[in-house]
Amino acid sequence: MSDELEKWIAAGEIAHKALGKAIETVDEGSSLLHLAESLESYIRQLGAEPAFPVNISVNEVAAHYSPKVEDRAILQPPAVVKIDLGASVDGFIADAAITITLGSSHTSLVETAKRALREAEHVLKPGVDLGEVGKRIETTVTMAGFKPIKNLSGHSMSRYSLHSGKCVPNVSSSACGRANAGEVYAVEPFATNGRGYVVEEEQGSIYRVSTLKVTGEDYLDFLLRELWRRYRGLPFSERWVHREWGERGMEALKKLVSKQRVQLYPVLREAGNGVVAQFEDTLVLTQRGVLNTTCVLELFKR
């Protein structure tokens, strides 16, 4: 086994364990801030770094909600809770997600998203048109009476890059190309009882360095270099910036966003405020077959 493949596998095993811990700890009254920080700490304890801030997106929030520095939100049933997390081992990434229900009546929606992931994994292999994966997801979700979220998709990944150029659509598409051996994909069906697409909120707490072009301001350029050195092209949390550089760092971060050196990921909400469910695995495509490094559906067979 190559050193690179070992690292893809190691990252997947850590993400799998972290999601198992999430299943054990997510409960009524749980603090989103405490959950995110405890899961990020657990990933580090297992020998990896978070590949991005832990996302805890509830009900109509589809993605990109990660608690802010002093977030006071808690989980209250009924709730459909998406936990989306990543592990990075020397830049080799696992990206995985599960949905947990708290006193919710949306069991059918959650099971549909789970089934869509299983069906997608039956289709994805070297040589397959990625649009066929989207077609299988769309068919699975619509036959159950729900809608796939058409403007969210899975994605190819490479070292230190969560989105490396190809998409795995959640609907039938002819624009995504073919999967090839040697590629790595995050496959993530989203199902909803809403309109089937997401819109951006004005808020967000997840960032990524988009360019190292200097600003001409000493502290901003210092922080920009440090953010790149620590996270390379991977997303990071404002919590991490605050922990290291305090209020001055937070103000500088906002300036870097305004100067388009750093990208802000806005929270994504279902357009009709429909409830959203999500499941996600990381798949490594090899000459010998497809290796599922995260195996999130196994967590629900225990």
Cite the active site residues.
Answer: 84, 95, 155, 163, 188, 280
Rounded Cα distance between 173 and 41, Å, is 38
Rounded Cα distance between 211 and 265, Å, is 15
Q: Bridge partners of 50?
A: 87
CA quadruple 248, 251, 255, 258: dihedral, nearest 10 = 160
Rounded Cα distance between 75 and 31, Å, is 7
Rounded Cα distance between 130 and 29, Å, is 40
